[in-house]
Amino acid sequence: MLRQALGLVFLIFGLWVGLAQESALADYKNRLVHYATVDRIDGFIRDIYISPEALQAVRQRKPLPPGTVVLVDLHQAKPTSRGGFVREGGFFVRASDEPYVHVMTRLEGEGSSSWRFEALEPRTGAPEPGVELPGDCLECHRAALTTEMLFSYPQLLEFARSGQVQRSFCKQPGRQLC
Ligand code: HEC
């Protein structure tokens, strides 16, 4: 009896530790706000999220506060038999959700060194293999220095104003500028 009770205690403790260790981003779909989606000609779809406090700052025309999290969730579009992608209402239909997310976190300070770049599995926090950080993330995002290092800043402003998730289509593949 005592052994069973102890076993149960250990089980509950184990579960609790397991949950406590879950990455802070595990629940990003509820904790962050989805403000934009970009469909690209190569069949990749990117949902872009930001922390609610940061959105509040944008509405008040303030800079993004330290602690701001911006996240990209990548999906692949459903292919057609003719080498294109299936669309509905002008936008791609999703076939799969890629396991890793790309994350930028605003740190204290100014300029391009005030962001942390990460590529990870959101539930466990496991890093995406083969990605060098900040590496080319920083190189490329530097081009958006005047807009808080975010390429989708215009979409963020428009979302802050209208509350409508901004959908766009980009004719460039990969992450080339649209
Ligand atoms: C070659 C350029 C390029 C590289 C390299 C790159 N990005 Fe981006 N990133 C973009 C573009 C462009 C967008 C806007 C979404 C789109 O157009 O598909 C974007 C969007 C983002 C966003 C959403 C905020 C924003 O800027 O719109 C985050 C977060 C992000 N990237 C993180 C990363 C991380 C982390 C890495 C490295 C692992 C990375 N990026 C590498 C070009 C790049």
User: pLDDT value at position 20?
Assistant: 47
User: pLDDT value at position 18?
Assistant: 47
CB of 132 shorter than 6 A to ligand 1: no
Domain limits at 28? Answer: 24-170
CATH of residue 110's domain is 3.50.70.20
| Residue 164 placed within a domain | yes
CB of 101 shorter than 6 A to ligand 1: no
Ligand 1 mutation pick, 72, 104, 142, 177, max ligand atoms within 8 A of CB: 72
* β partners of residue 169: 39
Q: What is the pLDDT along the chain (178 residues), one digit of tens a residue?
A: 556 665 655 555 444 444 445 678 999 999 999 999 999 999 999 999 999 999 999 999 999 999 999 999 999 999 999 999 999 998 999 999 999 999 999 999 988 889 999 999 999 999 999 999 999 999 999 999 999 999 999 999 999 999 999 999 999 999 999 9
Cβ 75 vs Cβ 89: under 8 Å? no
| Residue 130 placed within a domain | yes
CB of 69 shorter than 6 A to ligand 1: no
For residue 79, whether the previous peptide bond is cis, meaning omega lies within 30 degrees of 0, is no
| Residue 137 placed within a domain | yes
